Structure 1
């Protein structure tokens, strides 16, 4: 019988005997590393803290003080946009495989849905006794005639315009005369109506342009009166309509969120509405703020935003090219909002708003 020499002698045989050790050592090292690696509930603690932050800001926004840079009002102005942090942080949490970060995201998600989930659906209803609309036509509008023609075909029974300039007022009056036989203009705000108007008068909103006058084009002159009140005669009885254009809000690196004029105007307008004897009231205007802002408490405590009750989406109105906030408002008392929508863009930097109301 012939014996076959495998050649596994010396160092070759020793190398074969060491194969088991060489196989198990990497496995042991990997097991040690895996054991020392933090678990899914311990990973991403920074992400978890970041996830809680927008939730706490939305939950406690009313407690954020305005003493420093009007920070509370600034947060409330952009409150819906805090929801954008949720999907961004969720991607980071999944990438880090952090169970704690995912769990922490439940707080901002629940708070955001509680605050704004109702705006995601369409709450509008068909019908309505009266259609009202409002538009900041823009002092620098390059095509006031086209804007007026577009608004004349909107179907609104009552149309409020703000930021009217003496230069363009005649254009709006001429273009809207056929569709709206009744109108009143007080300063830079006006109301055009298919129904008779009476008791038209300015409303003192304690407006003072101050340094903001420099932000207007040099050839544009503005009146200091930016509020009016009138009575619309409907077949259901008189309807008190207010039109207002409150002071601007500015973000200033030194002063923060500057709203001094606007807040003073809002307080004065709230006082005027509180003295209103008619139980049916509609407020139309560019209020230069969102109704989540505490500065409008004197108004929202008396009137109901139609967008919350009968809107479809957030209804952002400014800036027209890429709206991020709803500062053009329609609020009511004593009548029922049926629907609320945006009208097509015009030459203004604001989008027009409209609503259907019923008795």
Structure 2
């Protein structure tokens, strides 16, 4: 009879291949790091993201205005959370998942209040604002769209001499009262009075002090007017602050805008009327520390009574809300973004009550 040598055939001998491979497999499994030791790099990245969101106010502006640049796009840093979560699940890392709690909690603390609809029905007055864009290819259509919005008070920025007559003509029927100073204007269904330019320290260069007043008024970028309502006078400010630019050498350049914001904050602080509304293209988000002179004195209608972030720029794919409605002494009941016009900005509106 033939003898079966189990050592040679590998069918279960003490030193057979199956036993050896099983031992090696067991060693590999035992040597793998546990779920709390896997993905430590992802865990560290999650903690850094959380600290970054939490400590953004201390990011200095001394280097390229970095702090303001970060704050302009601060909500979008939350997109790193699902990316890190996907990596944590792929690595089956319990430590990375746990570390992600920090950025999630911080982000929700900063922006969670904007996710729900806080609007209420009603309101005594509807206000709207829009940067109509100097290069708007259809100013007449834009004016008709704005008139159809039903706003009682309408503020426009970036008006040009070329298109000013078009807006005045198209808005005349809906708004019997209006005032235009420089590149900003205010249209109202209610009487206007005490209209005057607001000096927001526009940069006229070295000849600023020698500019005639009529020239400076023609180049005005902010105005203040009183709207007469059934509940009493309402002070309305319209402003278009200086531009912000990203420059490879200078970083996030906002010098003129920041100076405008400080001057506008001083004007609002000096306002004697208890009820104030500010409508304008501020060329920045309210998370930016540069707007502290305004946000310390006024409330954002969008944050108080809006639905979502209300991004307004650029119109094709909005990534930031730089067109603002701020209030003092009145209650925002609702805030929303109007449909696109021929501008590169979206119009904004809010319902306010006394």
Normalising by structure 1, we get a TM-score of 0.93
**RMSD (Å) for aligned C-alpha atoms:** 1.5
Establish whether residue 130 from structure 1 lines up as the match of residue 125 from structure 2.
yes
Among 62, 78, 100, the alignment partner of 1:83 is: 78
Structure 2 counterpart of 1:15:
9
Q: How many residues align?
A: 342
Structure 2 counterpart of 1:216:
none
Establish whether residue 203 from structure 1 lines up as the match of residue 198 from structure 2.
yes
Matches within 5 A, 1:192-271: 192-208=187-203, 224-271=219-266
CA positional deviation for 1:63 = 0.8
Residues 1:139 and 1:22: Cα distance change in structure 2 (over 3 Å): same
Larger Rg: 1
> How many angstroms apart in 2 are the aligned matches of 1:62 and 1:178?
47
Matches within 5 A, 1:1-359: 5=1, 7-9=2-4, 14-15=8-9, 19-20=13-14, 21-208=16-203, 224-359=219-354
Asked if the contact 1:345/1:352 (under 8 Å) is kept, the reply is yes
> How many angstroms apart in 1 are the aligned matches of 2:64 and 2:172?
45
CA positional deviation for 1:55 = 1.2
Runs (4+) off by over 6 Å? none
> How many angstroms apart in 1 are the aligned matches of 2:147 and 2:82?
42
Residues 1:13 and 1:290: Cα distance change in structure 2 (over 3 Å): closer
Give the secondary structure class of the aligned counterpart of 1:273: helix
> Any unmatched runs of 5+ in structure 2?
206-216
Residue range with higher mean Cα deviation, 30-39 or 159-168: 30-39
> How many angstroms apart in 1 are the aligned matches of 2:204 and 2:132?
18
Asked if the contact 1:55/1:111 (under 8 Å) is kept, the reply is yes
Kindly provide the CA deviation profile for residues 151-198 of structure 1, in whole angstroms up to 9, marking residues without a partner as x.
010000000000000000000000000000000001000000000000
Asked if the contact 1:162/1:190 (under 8 Å) is kept, the reply is yes
Residues 1:312 and 1:35: Cα distance change in structure 2 (over 3 Å): same
Residues 1:66 and 1:185: Cα distance change in structure 2 (over 3 Å): same
> How many angstroms apart in 1 are the aligned matches of 2:203 and 2:13?
89
> Any unmatched runs of 5+ in structure 1?
211-221
Asked if the contact 1:208/1:224 (under 8 Å) is kept, the reply is no
